Structure 1
Amino acid sequence: MSPGDSADESVSTRTITPVTTESAAPIINYSERFLPVVARDGMVVGPEQLAAQAGVDILSRGGNAIDAAVATGFALAVTYPRAGNLAGGGFMLIHLADENQQTLIDYREKAPIAATETMYLNPAGEVDRQREFFSLQSAGVPGTVAGMLYAQEKYGLLSRQEVMAPAIALAREGIDLSFGLHFEISASAERLRANPAARDIFFHEDGTLYDIGERWRQPDLARTLEAISQQGRDGFYAGSVADYITTEMENGGGLITAQDLAEYNVVERSPVRGTYRGFEIVSAPPPSSGGVHILQMLNLLEGYDLQAMGHNSAAYLHHLSESMKLAYADRSLYLGDPDFVDVPVTELIGKDYATLQRERIDSGVATPSAQIAPGLLINGESTDTTHYSVADRFGNVVSNTYTLNFSFGSHIAVPHTGMLLNNEMADFAAAPGTANAFGLIQGDANRIEPGKRPLSSMSPTLVFRDGQPWIATGSPGGSVIITTVLQTILNAMEFDMNIATAAAEPRIHHQWMPDELRMEKGFSPDTIKLLIDMGHPVGISPRTSGRTNSIMLQDGWLLGASDTRRPGGFVAGYSSQGQ
């Protein structure tokens, strides 16, 4: 979740035809942009090809969706280092078919024990952004490894060693540097070269970047992955890897200690859930703000005839934008880590609250953000996150979003480990009442406290139709994650779009403050003029808004789509022999 995580380049959606070979290896072809990929027995949709294929390989070997999700997560740490990670954190939303229930694994990073509320303020009381974003003090205690291992041990079918083998092989044997990865490293080259350990990972000894197509090996990362594979949690949170982390912290003024690592805990939480015109939506609870506000906006919009307005008409976009402003205003006051603050989830996602809030929307005129305050309740994250979705032949579904925060996190690597550190502490309110890196106003509920998890926008989401999982989706994008997921599922639920079309349609974003209706390219000039005439401060963004990786489950088939807004997205799947 960091600034600048967008690219206008597009990549064709891949389609996978049913396989008749005994290996069940996917057959990859190209298809039209607005057509989903089709497979029968298993699918992984993610931001990078090799990691998605690693997940499908696990499915074809008898693993379930959780095994494949964990394999994909570890592989992305090798192949997609801008956001795939070992030293970050996130949320895994799981649908368990046998129990017909959902659970959310919260492996969000935590503030170190030594963290203080004013740690990023200089003597003048101003936020020191360099320390907050690009220092060892910007790192929260990592949760990814603990979260992946917890999920796999509790809900997977295969052994830890089987699930981690693809990532280890990719790191040890190397990968051919793709155009997308070359572009991403180039864009962050100056900061990555400034850190000796990161320079050793991403560049030749003379500091030059690997060429496109050149073999790139990561032996230190392979050894770290091997330690985790052999020792489990102790391979990361104790032993040599933990020693490398704490030594780097001690040498560079960081805060994470051996005690922080040893005491890190995963929390299994109940997802938030609500309904929209007969569909059930299940999403991430606090410390993510995503699920709460997706449900809040759907409740508001349910009171309007959106089909009569027309998809992406000025009237539709107006009501969408006004709903976004109300939800993001509430985010600034009410949301935080539920283990530290009382988050009024039930009230915020209630239909009665939506009825009251809907009265604040003028159907013909935009309300200036300065006139919008958080609602009075009835009772009183870089865009360089990454998301992937997985489905298996057993009916299990996983929607996983995890991150280092900024692209390549803090750009600081831990020597001898091959991994980058997160800068997730920047998601706290360094000074309550001020904006964070994404322009989001942060309240006292999200102030820094030892052991606390920072508020997130990550929104892994499942949509159910007739009681069965129908859509698994999510997105990177920092503050735009929530509105990206909202519009994707609305496109499918309200306007009956297939998953590829639902992902490809142009999107808008409004986060209350700053008061700007951000619109992607692709909207009609007449529509834009009508919105301006209604009082919307429109800005046509040069960046794209989010990047969903989604699966639609329909009539016994898996339909996959990786949003074409960025290069490199991939859909991998397989169908077993004879189908």
Structure 2
Amino acid sequence: MIMPQRFALVLRVFRFDPGAGDCTARSDPRVLRAASSRRGLIVSLGLVLTTLVASSPLKAEEFRSHVVVSQEANASDVGRDVLRNGGNAIDAAIATAFALAVTHPAAGNIGGGGFIVAYLAERDEVVTVDFRERAPFASTERMYLDDRDRPVRGYRAGPKAAGVPGTVRGLALAHERFGSRPWAELVRPAVALAEEGFPVTETLARSLNAQLFVDDGAADLLDGSGRVDRLADFSASVAAFRKADGTPWQEGDLLRQPDLAATLSRIAEQGPDEFYGGKTADLIVAAMQEGGGVMTREDLESYRAVVRPPVRGRFRGFEVYGMGPPSSGGIVVVLMLQILERFDLAADGPDAPETLHRITEAMRRAFFVRATRIADPDFVEVPVEELTSRAFADELAESIGPEATPSQDLADFPIAGLAEGSNTTHLSVVDRQGNAVALTYTLELGYGSKAVVPGAGFLLNNEMGDFNLVPGVTSTSGLIGTPANRIAPGKRMLSSMSPTLVLKDGKPRLVTGSPGGRTIPNTVLWVVLNVLEFGRSPREAIDAPRTHHAWFPDVITLEGRSWPAETLDELRRRGHRVRSTTLQGDAHSIVIDPETGLLHGANDRRRQTSKASGD
């Protein structure tokens, strides 16, 4: 097999030491205890990342048969056990996703939605499943605005913030079309985790305490009015997540969720229709009526997941597959890679100002395309073939000069002088038959709408905030008001989720994806470039710092503080605005060695509870 020299070198020199054990990240409890406020949390996480990258071996775990990589160890083990028992990669992804709905409440879900990109070895085909949430039929374009066209206070919390959930339908459709094990068998491990409980990690304890006990200054997210929304605002959420004795969570405490266990048990025994037309649907509708939401039984019963054609492009002789609209991720990642292919980035190196300039300009142009031309294809005509064509990429690449392009120069409409949440979660699976799955799903912001469905035990999403809420207003701060993604009844909101597969000679070589809102495509871009362009090992590819530019705000965000000072000075000289951030994304990935067949499971150690689990 002929491979690009850089990629072949990585796979030859990277080998795992079996004596090193798993690479689930842990951190100094003193650092974690210092995170008693929102600012303290950000600082301490930055210190944790720096410590991990500096002190941990630069190796991913190596597996010979199959592997699941996800954000939470119990969930990864559930998926691994499905593979051990003869299930395929789709089965394992479904079981892992249900388990994450129990063990990772900030983003794992049955009350949200997402996407699957999968390679099916027997059919030699890449397939995608769209189970993105949908606007209720009673939705209106200005439903979250006051009489001055400003988002109303608390618009991202409570039942009214939720789109119609798609997760259960999406996992069921994937199972029906591509699964091999009985449905109930895949859901029951999640039932057991919810019913019997599991020990909370220090990370989860801190997260729950911030939502239930800590004052507003230490909570994690603010809505557009400056108000902090928390689980503590909703009695059913408090009942679901506060300890029986009312004391703060400590590492090792057992979290039991009996209402969620009952809901999952009904889904296991009665199938997905129970969620959309049975007792669970009754509980959702009751929550809407009590909490001012607009979702109805008709919304639930009419929801369908969709198998859509994948987005496809090429980079350095590899085939890159992603999710098509209503996700923008596939188009944006493919477009950026095909813009950048005409440049020899490796010759300059990943830290060079010329490299970062070119990557930033590719991001800027791709995100402008995202804002103006991509939306739900059932409502807006999206020219996928054009946007992923070589000719279009070449046209955009030719417009990149030596200086920064002001973002407002790309638009032919006024730019005035609310971004997506980072609490999505991603998992990657490869099985012994060579099937591969990239699954990304979300509640949107951390803990979604913060509202648990009373009696059902799960959180509702707040995905309605992913629509362009203020029609006609696009601002330098990042507010997007372009027409394609405005609210409409039954419409799926635009997403940045980017589950991605890279194939060579028709076989999977890289499975990746990430949470992070609008940063997701750029995180995935860096993972792909690190492996295919810069020749980094799987562990180095995930640990390496990342950058982000989203058209607006017109700023390069650089992860960490290790970038060369001369690089930052040169970027500023070229007209770029530069700022730093602590963490970007969470790219749990698998790299497959084509020569040995070994599976390199690289969990992203930015998330301390993550794990690669397999054999």
Task: Tell me if the contact between 2:351 and 2:564 (Cα under 8 Å) persists in the aligned partners.
Answer: no
AA partner of residue 209 (structure 2): S
**Cα separation, 1, equivalents of 2:578 and 2:559:** 10
Task: Tell me if the contact between 1:241 and 1:417 (Cα under 8 Å) persists in the aligned partners.
Answer: yes
**Cα separation, 2, equivalents of 1:217 and 1:438:** 41
Encode CA deviations 1:80-108: one digit per residue, 9 max, x unaligned.
00000010000011110001001111000
Q: Report the secondary structure of 2:446's partner residue.
A: coil
Q: Which residue of 1 aligns with 2:254?
A: 215
**Cα separation, 1, equivalents of 2:206 and 2:564:** 31
Q: How far is the alpha carbon of 1:441 from its aligned partner?
A: 2.0
Aligned residues: 548
TM value normalised by structure 1: 0.91
**Cα separation, 2, equivalents of 1:290 and 1:187:** 31
Instruction: Select which of 301, 304, 321 maps to 2:343.
Output: 304
AA partner of residue 42 (structure 1): H
The change in CA–CA distance for 1:369 and 1:430 in structure 2 (over 3 A counts) is: same
Encode CA deviations 1:246-301: one digit per residue, 9 max, x unaligned.
01111121011111110000100011001012010000100000110111111111
Task: Tell me if the contact between 1:116 and 1:448 (Cα under 8 Å) persists in the aligned partners.
Answer: yes
Alignment of 1:358 onto 2:415: no
Q: Report the secondary structure of 2:438's partner residue.
A: strand
Task: Tell me if the contact between 1:561 and 1:571 (Cα under 8 Å) persists in the aligned partners.
Answer: yes
Q: Report the secondary structure of 1:398's partner residue.
A: strand
Alignment of 1:460 onto 2:499: yes
Q: Report the secondary structure of 1:254's partner residue.
A: coil
Task: Tell me if the contact between 2:113 and 2:166 (Cα under 8 Å) persists in the aligned partners.
Answer: yes
Alignment of 1:421 onto 2:445: no
Q: Which residue of 2 aligns with 1:147?
A: 170
**Cα separation, 1, equivalents of 2:104 and 2:496:** 21
The change in CA–CA distance for 1:152 and 1:11 in structure 2 (over 3 A counts) is: farther
AA partner of residue 573 (structure 1): G
Moved more, 460-469 or 383-392: 460-469
**Cα separation, 1, equivalents of 2:564 and 2:436:** 37
Q: Report the secondary structure of 2:154's partner residue.
A: helix
Q: How far is the alpha carbon of 1:372 from its aligned partner?
A: 2.3
Q: Which residue of 2 aligns with 1:408?
A: 447
**Cα separation, 2, equivalents of 1:437 and 1:370:** 8
Q: Which residue of 2 aligns with 1:327?
A: 366
Q: Report the secondary structure of 1:409's partner residue.
A: coil
Task: Tell me if the contact between 1:12 and 1:564 (Cα under 8 Å) persists in the aligned partners.
Answer: no
Following superposition of structure 1 onto structure 2, how do residues 37-56 of structure 1 map, counting pairs within 5 Å? 37-56=61-80
Instruction: Select which of 93, 96, 100 maps to 1:76.
Output: 100
Q: Which residue of 2 aligns with 1:20?
A: none
AA partner of residue 136 (structure 2): P
Q: Report the secondary structure of 2:119's partner residue.
A: strand
Instruction: Select which of 548, 553, 559 maps to 1:520.
Output: 559
Moved more, 158-167 or 84-93: 158-167
Alignment of 1:373 onto 2:439: no
The change in CA–CA distance for 1:12 and 1:391 in structure 2 (over 3 A counts) is: farther
Q: How far is the alpha carbon of 1:11 from its aligned partner?
A: 10
Task: Tell me if the contact between 2:474 and 2:482 (Cα under 8 Å) persists in the aligned partners.
Answer: no
Moved more, 404-413 or 151-160: 151-160
Moved more, 511-520 or 454-463: 511-520
Task: Tell me if the contact between 1:12 and 1:33 (Cα under 8 Å) persists in the aligned partners.
Answer: no
Following superposition of structure 1 onto structure 2, how do residues 105-124 of structure 1 map, counting pairs within 5 Å? 105-124=129-148
Q: Report the secondary structure of 1:63's partner residue.
A: coil
**Cα separation, 2, equivalents of 1:33 and 1:107:** 38
Task: Tell me if the contact between 1:288 and 1:457 (Cα under 8 Å) persists in the aligned partners.
Answer: yes
Q: Which residue of 1 aligns with 2:200?
A: 177
Q: How far is the alpha carbon of 1:435 from its aligned partner?
A: 5.8
The change in CA–CA distance for 1:468 and 1:46 in structure 2 (over 3 A counts) is: same
**How large is the Cα RMSD of the aligned pairs?**
2.1
The change in CA–CA distance for 1:552 and 1:374 in structure 2 (over 3 A counts) is: farther
Q: Which residue of 2 aligns with 1:168?
A: 191
Q: Which residue of 1 aligns with 2:18?
A: none
**Cα separation, 2, equivalents of 1:426 and 1:506:** 29
Unaligned runs of 5+ in 1: 14-30, 376-380, 575-579
Task: Tell me if the contact between 2:208 and 2:249 (Cα under 8 Å) persists in the aligned partners.
Answer: no
**Cα separation, 1, equivalents of 2:60 and 2:328:** 29
Q: How far is the alpha carbon of 1:449 from its aligned partner?
A: 0.7
Moved more, 117-126 or 484-493: 117-126
Task: Tell me if the contact between 1:136 and 1:412 (Cα under 8 Å) persists in the aligned partners.
Answer: yes
AA partner of residue 561 (structure 1): A
**Cα separation, 2, equivalents of 1:162 and 1:356:** 51
AA partner of residue 333 (structure 1): T
Q: Which residue of 2 aligns with 1:318?
A: 357
AA partner of residue 410 (structure 2): I
Q: Which residue of 1 aligns with 2:571?
A: 531
Q: Report the secondary structure of 1:280's partner residue.
A: strand
Following superposition of structure 1 onto structure 2, how do residues 89-108 of structure 1 map, counting pairs within 5 Å? 89-108=113-132
Q: Report the secondary structure of 1:188's partner residue.
A: helix
Q: How far is the alpha carbon of 1:525 from its aligned partner?
A: 1.6
Q: How far is the alpha carbon of 1:311 from its aligned partner?
A: 1.9
Q: Report the secondary structure of 1:303's partner residue.
A: coil
Encode CA deviations 1:23-80: one digit per residue, 9 max, x unaligned.
xxxxxxxx94421110111100010000000000010011110110000000000000
Moved more, 325-334 or 433-442: 433-442
AA partner of residue 97 (structure 2): G
Q: How far is the alpha carbon of 1:212 from its aligned partner?
A: 1.4
Alignment of 1:572 onto 2:613: yes
Alignment of 1:293 onto 2:332: yes
AA partner of residue 411 (structure 2): A
Q: Report the secondary structure of 1:414's partner residue.
A: coil
Bigger relative contact order (CA 8 A; separation at least 6): 1
Task: Tell me if the contact between 1:174 and 1:218 (Cα under 8 Å) persists in the aligned partners.
Answer: yes
The change in CA–CA distance for 1:54 and 1:306 in structure 2 (over 3 A counts) is: same
Encode CA deviations 1:540-569: one digit per residue, 9 max, x unaligned.
12x311110000111211101011222211
**Cα separation, 2, equivalents of 1:165 and 1:374:** 53
Alignment of 1:130 onto 2:141: no
Q: How far is the alpha carbon of 1:209 from its aligned partner?
A: 2.7
Q: Report the secondary structure of 2:591's partner residue.
A: strand
Q: Which residue of 2 aligns with 1:552?
A: 591
Q: Moved runs in structure 1, 4+ residues, more than 6 A? A: 3-6
**Cα separation, 1, equivalents of 2:412 and 2:57:** 40
**Cα separation, 2, equivalents of 1:274 and 1:570:** 30
Following superposition of structure 1 onto structure 2, how do residues 189-228 of structure 1 map, counting pairs within 5 Å? 189=212, 191-205=230-244, 207-228=246-267
Q: Which residue of 2 aligns with 1:27?
A: none
**Cα separation, 2, equivalents of 1:188 and 1:300:** 42
The change in CA–CA distance for 1:436 and 1:411 in structure 2 (over 3 A counts) is: farther
